[in-house]
Structure 1
């Protein structure tokens, strides 16, 4: 048994990044202060990453009957150790090899022990040892207190092979991935409690290789927009003061003037304009928080416009929908959070239809189109905040995203028309892989198959988006674990660890990646009895 103590702490060396990634070396020291003589057996430092889900589920019928509560619930907890390394900083290895008593007496004073770890690329959860929670028999080791409730932590059975997931928080106890260093001072007496303390840190994975194929994905939607306009057709205009022979007609005929034609300039007409609102982005490139989005917006027409009419972009809105699928044993839960990160009103951006330029043949209709690009300066400030986690998939958590872009258009005197585009997107860390790491990359597997996309309610790139809300998730049966998670890996590639062991840290800047306050607290709830 252990408890957090101020007697021991971890201090990281200065000059290191605030955000760590794979292949980084974490260096620091253990600071141990004791006011009096103390006998200990060892001091260990552990580098850990825990993927944890807590789902509130109904209790079984027998429990409900005993408790006489039809609505009785319990916490279903699943924990996976995606990162696990151990270093014994005291006693030194040469002393451990000759001392069989495993008891060492330290005098009162301050002690420091250096340590360092190298963060791997791949998750260790697919390994048979040290991967998931495995109770070791202690009375309290199989239980976890969560939200004031006691839950039993069972051994997780389902594991996937993938790269390390990012730090993840913000959904309370439902789903989280935390990384931390833990120091434990083991005291030799069974009657004394061990000293322990934590040092959490933030982790971002390395991005997958960039697809340099030049392929472009697009999503478009057709819209009909009404307006009041006039037709400019001089051949049909009738002069009220002249007859067909060019005579004025005299006084008598002036009483029988011909009425202006329905096509005259002087009478406004109601009409509709058909146009397409479209977003394009490079295929195989993710969106990075704090960076300009790599996409373009267009208004296009299936037929060449013949008028000088102007369509106005009045409003533009970007919303990111983050979908978290949390699994705990046979249960799963889906959480959707929306983030409106760009909203501009009263834009009044004119788009002259006559200026639409012809484009190559459309790959879907095999017909030419005419398009007007929307100036990128209009949405240059559409930047994702640093709280957005990269897309990832681990044994019990999957994080996927859809981007919705909504434009509101009108003619000069017409009503406002809204059109929305939705497409699934990848969010990246912004940490590019080195050339050496690219050579170590193993073949990547698709992040989601078609069935997964349908379950998540996302449209595939290149398809017309749907305005319907995403369907309620159903429990997959084919090719899935019992908890509903796919046995396939994520889109992030795995790497040959034998090659990565010879590579140095990734050079270049690291973006800030903000976590919620609970990321840094209550790390005791991630304990599994191993100390």
Structure 2
């Protein structure tokens, strides 16, 4: 006997709205009695944290009982859960292929294929309490006792969805496959197949494979001229009076050039700013849309040079396990260059303090983000967001390019160097997978559809139809004016009655306002027949889809 899952046209990774299709290939060396074949599409977001030494049950009421200081608490969210029965199908069940009242079937020896097909959703499933409450126990397709016969339990073991109701959830786009923090956090996606074998002494056959997942990015805002910036002014110190240039070598006599070391020169004062398009969005496997701009603060005629640059992307992963929290910091060096000699100012002799000099972007224009950077995401128990850190080395005067064997600067011993940090505290990293056009059109149609919630008219309150209650001033004017309604020149339905705001609207009463439309969700906005994106970049992130889980269970 052998089992394997063969995926049709398997890409490097899957994304939202993709059709995940394949076949369960079963090879039997002899006839076997089979109760059913179940395929499950699952995704899990797992976290685990150790209880601190000062742990107290009263300060962490959400932690499960039974653990003490030093033990491990874990939290598992079923962010994706789909079940399909590929054998017996509805037609096979009606065909009377069952060998007995137990509902089992005899499959002859040889190779057999059972096709399946799933469509990956957009949002996580664990946040839907109705869907989770319908899943649980041991049964056919989500119930207890289905398929029980003389040969034992013929049902499939499914997830107990009621356990998800006790956890904190958010409704977000499915997170990407995520590993890299052993025994602490991971997000995995996989396919499971279970072949049910009726009988108390027969064990079910199981097999599973993992796959990579990257989500589609949210709809990008329209491009504007707005920019987010991180800027910092700097000023060099005045040079000492009478500073003379030294000899360029031990025996040579360098020419006397006192201009660079003139003590009367006004020290330059410049404001340097780093700018990103607003909102600050980076894209996986693409270069930074960064601009560096220098501007004079005082009318100095001195030039300043860029001697080094280092750009780091900082990823902060927030891990939550019940009431325990931890933050892991990761760093990626995107650009690092030293020994540069790039002038900052276009015209250092100009006295225009409003002129902005743009530094050439050749240093980072063709360097993409590292392919281990996962897109930003928010899950129920796991979050990842990014920051951007820029370190610039600046020099007043021509920076030294060579040194003598005695260690002195050959060109300008009076050059001053400083290091300037620039920091973006919040940037987003998108996957680069654009939503399909059908989805964008559906979202636009949902946003432009008029509803009662968007109208400027205030909601009308219902009249009080009870005649037993006494009329008071707090009950509003609707009942006091009702006997005089026939004397009005206009029909009563044309007038908007006023009612007591302390009472909510009641359905079914004359003049009562209908319920407002619920705001559209991402899933409701899907166009009919929307398919996954056709073009997608290379995968970006750290994951081993078929490695065993490294998250410890509760200890």
Q: Please report the TM-score for the alignment, with normalisation by the length of structure 1.
A: 0.70
Name stretches of at least 5 consecutive residues in structure 1 with no aligned partner: 1-5, 63-69, 143-152, 232-262, 360-367, 444-492
Task: Check whether the contact 1:317–1:406 (CA below 8 A) recurs between aligned residues.
Answer: yes
SS of 2:124 mapped into structure 1: coil
Task: Check whether the contact 1:318–1:406 (CA below 8 A) recurs between aligned residues.
Answer: yes
Distance 1:73 1:92 in 2: 50
2:287 counterpart (273, 286, 292): 292
Task: Check whether the contact 1:358–1:369 (CA below 8 A) recurs between aligned residues.
Answer: no
* Match status 1:509 vs 2:504: no
2:355 counterpart (361, 370, 373): 370
Q: CA deviation at 1:345?
A: 0.6
Task: Check whether the contact 2:312–2:389 (CA below 8 A) recurs between aligned residues.
Answer: yes
Distance 1:291 1:265 in 2: 41
The 3 A distance-change label for structure 1 pair 391 and 338 is same
Q: CA deviation at 1:322?
A: 0.7
Distance 1:10 1:506 in 2: 24
Name the structure, 1 or 2, with higher relative contact order (CA <8 Å, separation 6+).
1
Distance 1:509 1:357 in 2: 48
1:219 maps to 230
The 3 A distance-change label for structure 1 pair 86 and 498 is farther
Task: Check whether the contact 1:19–1:513 (CA below 8 A) recurs between aligned residues.
Answer: no
Higher mean displacement: 322-331 or 377-386? 377-386
The 3 A distance-change label for structure 1 pair 156 and 524 is farther
1:117 maps to 118
1:191 maps to 201
The superposition leaves residues 302-341 of structure 1 with CA deviations (integer Å, 9 ceiling, x where unpaired) of 34x341x211100000111111111111111111111222
1:102 maps to 103
Higher mean displacement: 503-512 or 372-381? 503-512
SS of 1:439 mapped into structure 2: helix
Distance 1:346 1:323 in 2: 31
The 3 A distance-change label for structure 1 pair 206 and 58 is same
Distance 2:552 2:128 in 1: 19
Alignment RMSD (CA, Å):
3.6
Distance 2:552 2:132 in 1: 14
> How does 1:196-275 map onto structure 2 within 5 Å?
196-214=206-224, 215-226=226-237, 228=239, 268-269=263-264, 272-275=267-270
Q: CA deviation at 1:123?
A: 1.6
SS of 2:200 mapped into structure 1: coil
Q: CA deviation at 1:407?
A: 0.5
Name stretches of at least 5 consecutive residues in structure 2 with no aligned partner: 58-66, 139-143, 145-156, 243-257, 398-413, 448-519
1:419 maps to 420
Q: CA deviation at 1:271?
A: 5.0
The 3 A distance-change label for structure 1 pair 395 and 270 is same
Q: Please report the TM-score for the alignment, with normalisation by the length of structure 2.
A: 0.67
2:547 maps to 521
* Match status 1:41 vs 2:35: yes
Task: Check whether the contact 2:14–2:213 (CA below 8 A) recurs between aligned residues.
Answer: yes
Larger radius of gyration: 2
Aligned residues: 413
